[in-house]
Homo-oligomer: A and B are copies of this chain.
Amino acid sequence: MSFNTFGKIFRFTTWGESHGPAIGCVVDGCPPNISIKEQDIQIELDKRKPGQSKFTTQRKEDDKVHILSGVFEGKTTGTPISLIIYNKDMKSRDYESIKNKFRPGHADFTYYKKYGIRDYRGGGRQSARETASRVAAGAIAKKVLEKKLGKKFKVIGAVTQLGILGCNIKNWNDNFIRKNPLFCPDRSIIKLWEKYLLSIRKAGSSCGAVIEVRAKGVPVGLGAPIYSKLDMDLSSAMMSINAVKGVNIGSGMNSAKLTGEQNSDEIFKKGKRTNFKSNNAGGILGGISSGQEIIVSFAVKPTSSILTSRKTIDKFGKNTSISVKGRHDPCVGIRAVPIGEAMMNCVLLDHFLMNSAQCKS
């Protein structure tokens, strides 16, 4: 059982509330002798950091990470790596007016009903601020995988749908993703997306998004039968991210519409290499990686904190209404890109290590 721990061998345990003194995580099961610097983690955290463009919340979250243990003279020792990020720019007063109300679409109601108590400031533990810890853990997983799998290994995510606007997936461009604040993979659509998002923002409204995360250079054989399938763990990883409501592997929900002929990814040998004619499977067959690119996508619902007044109840059971001011992302999905990448890295490393344990000969 692990309420706040993710993973089996490479495991991280996160802690902290958005308006407490700090948040952080303990990363356990990291192999020894991996070079890790705070800067390696900081780079990933900075991708997630808000306040970087007009498209995200203007809250300043410095998200400066500190390594407290597990690294000696620049290298991991095989012992737990404790990471801490002190909280700053916390405006708890923003939340005074809503402390007794349950924001629709948020976990306020369910946390209170379950525990009989909740830290209402900024969502407390339910705040997406927790995901900074995931990104930090993911940065470590990435370093390990890059050492173990070499340069061919790469994880990259993008927003492939912004509200009602899709993009042309064939235009996917890794370099472009890294250069625009919407993590859009398709240069041809970016202007339209920006316009759309600004209008959403201006209206005090919000929209959802679809994020796709791809992993190249993953060897055949990661995953395990039945209840430790790679796709099962990836689905679990993505669904654990705040506001995620749907997960696809490869063709995903769309595979229901295909025929057996369309869906079967034919296999052929070209020289020594095994190839597949298509990748409806998203790189996973029977829960085990096939050597193809791993492709996972997930939907993030629109930010629940909006300006428009919504009906709700308070903790005394009275009907009331709520309108959330404060500084919120018009589309939380955008900042989910580095989080999805982090979770992909963590799951892949976990299964990579597990594979060593299962099949050592």
Contact = CB atoms under 8 A, between A and B. Distances in A.
A117 B80 contact: no
Contacts of A78: 114-115, 117, 225, 358-359
B258 A109 contact: no
B312 A80 contact: no
A313 to B, nearest CB: 5
A207 interface: yes
Interface in A103-133: 104-107, 109-111, 113-119, 124-126, 130
B250 A245 contact: yes
A339 to B, nearest CB: 13
B353 A264 contact: no
A28 interface: yes
A260 interface: yes
B4 A1 contact: no
A255 interface: yes
A198 interface: no
A249 interface: yes
Interface stretch (A171-179, A182-190, A283-291): A283-291
A79 to B, nearest CB: 4
Contacts of A191: none
Interface in A214-270: 220-221, 223-229, 231-233, 235-236, 239-240, 242, 245-269
Interface string A196-226: 0000100001111110000000001101111
A82 B16 contact: yes
- The number of times this chain is found in the oligomer is 4
A33 interface: yes
Contacts of A106: 285-286
Given A1-B1, A20-B68, A109-B267, A13 B80 contact: yes
A90 interface: no
A124 B225 CA distance: 11
Nearest to A274: B313
A245 to B, nearest CB: 5
A45 interface: no
Contacts of A124: 72, 77, 79
Given A78-B225, A235-B247, A245-B249, 8 more contacts: A1-B228, A32-B117, A161-B256, A207-B259, A208-B257, A235-B235, A256-B301, A263-B304
25 contacts: A3-B224, A3-B228, A5-B227, A15-B68, A15-B82, A29-B358, A76-B117, A105-B265, A107-B285, A111-B288, A126-B286, A130-B226, A200-B259, A227-B240, A231-B245, A236-B239, A245-B250, A245-B253, A246-B252, A246-B255, A248-B253, A255-B299, A260-B308, A268-B313, A353-B358
